[in-house]
Structure 1
Amino acid sequence: MSTPTSQPPAEGPYSGPPVILAFATQKGGMGKTTLSVLVASWLHYRRQIPVAILDVDSSQLSVYNLRVREIEQLDEETKERFNRQAMDEYPVLRGEPAAIPQLLQQIPANVRLVLIDLPGNIDVEGYETALGKVDYLLVPMETSEFSVTTGFSYLMAIRQVDLLPADRCRVVWNKYKDSRDGTLVEMLEERFKQYGFTCLQSRIPQRDSYQDSANRSTLFPMPTQYLRNSGLKDLFTEIESLLPVSTLSSPVEND
């Protein structure tokens, strides 16, 4: 076990540039950081797709500080569990949004997917620089009026200043309840489509367990028993579909 910028995992067969993806929104509490960690840890440790996270939400550095705490709190049992995994810990680099080009140069050459944890404020210096490096922007959203209005305004602001094409933006329905939100989501998705924005098919229900330290970890994937009816397995699969085929590997399901 090493520092947050640790030794990269073994070389994979793919030699092209990594796909760069960011969960981002201007409304707090939408789950952008939690989803970033859950996706990174599942794809890296379970799917053996080399991943890196760039934490440029410099007012909080939630992912970077989580990694530091996890390493500090490792005991012999968890070290042994970690060592049984096929992959070393993925790099977590910190910095300002304007430093994204330099941070990308620091990631190991074998990384296939980079997740960026962006600030919650589009007016932060360097935000345009950071977003300009993103291949896909995923915007977590609830069905509440304020969440939808804020998320839609964020997407429109990005489109209007030509920071990212609309076809590279995706809405992710989070804290979803089918009996309450199903019809509304269908209506909203049709509305988004009129502006060129699409939504992922996976819908993530409200679960307190996502925040549990045993599940939201940068060193371990979420245990498979928590994935049943969670929508997360579908999310992981959809994100894999954005990656080059040669990046993908067989799943590893055992804890």
Structure 2
Amino acid sequence: MDNKKTPLYVAFSTQKGGVGKTTFTVLAASYLHYLKGYDVAVVDCDYPQHSIAALRKRDAEQVNSDEYYKLMAFDQFKRLEKRAYPVLCSSPENAIATADEYVATATTVPDIIFFDLPGTVNSQGVINSLSGVDYIFTPIAADRVVLESSLSFAVAINKLLVKNEACRLKGLYLFWNMVDGREKTDLYGVYDTTIRELELPLMKTFIPDTKRYKKELIADQRVVFRSTLFPADRRLVRGSNLEELITEIAYHIKLK
């Protein structure tokens, strides 16, 4: 085991549920682990539903019951010579401890560990866990209620944690999700100005509003987008801005 390696701790987090944090956790983890050669782990502390752990279970059941996906999994394992990344269930207050314990005993230390935290900072332990990660990425949507909640969350985290030298957190970055192409004009210009005035970093990449982000492993459907066992299908990645988003994330977190 390489004791010198220190994994990056990264969370997709926001105060508002339903904006895509779990989806992006899965997509980023699978893209980096299966396509880019990094070793990844995921800590699912979205208690009590543990959405990513539930998705892993559905993925595994689908692979075991479908010959096409079974062969696909075998070919991937043979080609990469690596197993699926671990999904570790935890609670918000124990998230960092769960990751630290895994790193201490892992045969292969991950390059990056993603955290999926509850959609509210009011959940016990969320603030403490956020103070223990290296970077936070917050998806935002052009809905007034969602945006106000997301910006108040980002401003608070920026003030309490990012600017606090005692905390591990190095940066919080916003990015637009569920962007309707017909609206990406004046409305977003106004919002972008507000975000700049709040001195919050806004990423260049935006994610279009498309149903492909909800595609899981389903019988008789031979392309997959959101999966814990496979990377997003290249045919669906085109036009999704997923590749651009993860490239920009890798730049911000200084992923070598």
SS at match of 1:170: strand
Q: What is residue 95 of structure 2 aligned with on the other side?
A: 100
1:78 to 69, 72, 76: 69
Measured after TM superposition, the shift of residue 119 of structure 1 is: 0.4
Matched, 1:49 2:59: no
- Equivalent position amino acid for 1:79 in 2: K
Q: What is residue 130 of structure 1 aligned with on the other side?
A: 129
Matched, 1:192 2:195: yes
SS at match of 1:198: coil
Distance 1:242 1:43 in 2: 15
Q: What is residue 235 of structure 2 aligned with on the other side?
A: 225
TM-score of the pair, normalised by structure 2: 0.84
RMSD (Å) for aligned C-alpha atoms = 2.1
Distance 2:53 2:23 in 1: 12
- Equivalent position amino acid for 1:194 in 2: E
Q: What is residue 250 of structure 1 aligned with on the other side?
A: none
Matched, 1:205 2:208: yes
SS at match of 1:217: coil
Q: What is residue 9 of structure 2 aligned with on the other side?
A: 20
Specify every segment of 5 or more residues in structure 2 that has no aligned partner in the other structure, as ranges. 164-168, 217-223
1:88 to 59, 62, 83: 83
Measured after TM superposition, the shift of residue 233 of structure 1 is: 1.2
SS at match of 1:93: strand
- Equivalent position amino acid for 1:92 in 2: V
Specify every segment of 5 or more residues in structure 1 that has no aligned partner in the other structure, as ranges. 1-10, 248-255
- Equivalent position amino acid for 2:75 in 1: R
Distance 2:58 2:181 in 1: 36
Distance 2:254 2:70 in 1: 32
Distance 2:197 2:233 in 1: 38
Q: What is residue 181 of structure 1 aligned with on the other side?
A: 184
Q: What is residue 6 of structure 1 aligned with on the other side?
A: none
Within a 5 Å distance, the mapping from 1:6-17 to structure 2 comes to 15-17=4-6
Measured after TM superposition, the shift of residue 143 of structure 1 is: 1.1
SS at match of 1:137: strand
Distance 1:102 1:29 in 2: 26
Number of aligned residues: 234
SS at match of 1:140: strand
Query: 8 Å contact 1:167–1:197 — kept in the other structure?
Result: no
Identity %: 30
Query: 8 Å contact 2:63–2:73 — kept in the other structure?
Result: no
Q: What do residues 93-122 of structure 1 show as CA deviations (whole Å, max 9, x unaligned)?
A: 011111123211214352111111000121
TM-score of the pair, normalised by structure 1: 0.84
